[in-house]
Amino acid sequence: MNYQSAEFIISAAKLKDCPADSVCEVAFAGRSNAGKSSAINTLTRQGQLARTSKTPGRTQLINFFQIAEQQYLVDLPGYGYAKVPMKMKNNWQIHLEQYLNVREPLAGLVLVTDIRHVFKEFDQMMIEWARANELPLHILLTKSDKLKRGGINDALSKARRQVEGMDASVQAFSSLKRQGVDVLANKLDSWFVA
Ligand code: GDP
């Protein structure tokens, strides 16, 4: 798949705004600041692509990037955005839950986590949801440039233990150093083809 051809299509506020022609999509989820936008920008080699998701007013929306005909990358709202009032947090949760529970074309979930914080509450929740729904999961431990080899291996082992028995994979990733991009692309390819 040519991820460099990714093109922003829509910020969906509601389930009915999600592209109707999608037959296969892969969603990226993560806590705010985990490095999700940077990972998407690195994968697509488009420095500004996921900036859409950071535009004020759009942080709560589900952003769709078209990769090929009827195939999409989906940037889910970052969890734990501190400046959001409580009512919006509820909305956010409803949207995310609706998307995850109802969206038929969803083929896999990429959970983006800071390699230094494996795992926080939101991540645990997403892992359990993927387990319960038997959705393939790929965990991206980002900012791996912040740790030495030993620390990276410890984080990988810890993450792998938590997803034991699941259809899940784990990798280290650095947007800063562009490390792990091929591994991520290969994983996504396997989902898009399937
Ligand atoms: P998001 O909120 O999950 O979309 O996170 P961002 O992609 O905006 O990244 C949050 C912060 O982490 C920014 O200051 C980034 O520059 C930094 N960051 C993201 N990825 C990396 C990485 O691979 N290495 C390092 N050192 N910093 C990163």
Instruction: Report the residue among 74, 175, 177 best suited for mutation to probe ligand 1: largest number of ligand atoms under 8 A from its CB.
Output: 175
- Residue 139, beta-bridge partner list: 111, 170
How far does residue 43's CA lie from ligand 1's centre (Å)? Answer: 14
Number of domains observed in the structure of the chain: 1
Burial class, 132, CB count within 10 angstroms (exposed 0-12 / middle 13-18 / buried 19+): exposed
In tens, the pLDDT along 163-186 reads 999 999 999 999 999 999 999 999
Which residue range(s) make up the domain with 184? 3-193
User: Domain with 15 in it: what CATH number?
Assistant: 3.40.50.300
Pick the atom of ligand 1 nearest to 173's CA. 23
How far does residue 20's CA lie from ligand 1's centre (Å)? Answer: 31
Is-contact 3 68, C-beta < 8 A? no
| 34-60 average pLDDT score | 82
**39/173 Cα distance (integer angstroms):** 8
Full-model pTM: 0.93
Pick the atom of ligand 1 nearest to 177's CA. 23
Q: Are strands 7-12 and 62-68 parallel, antiparallel or unpaired?
A: antiparallel
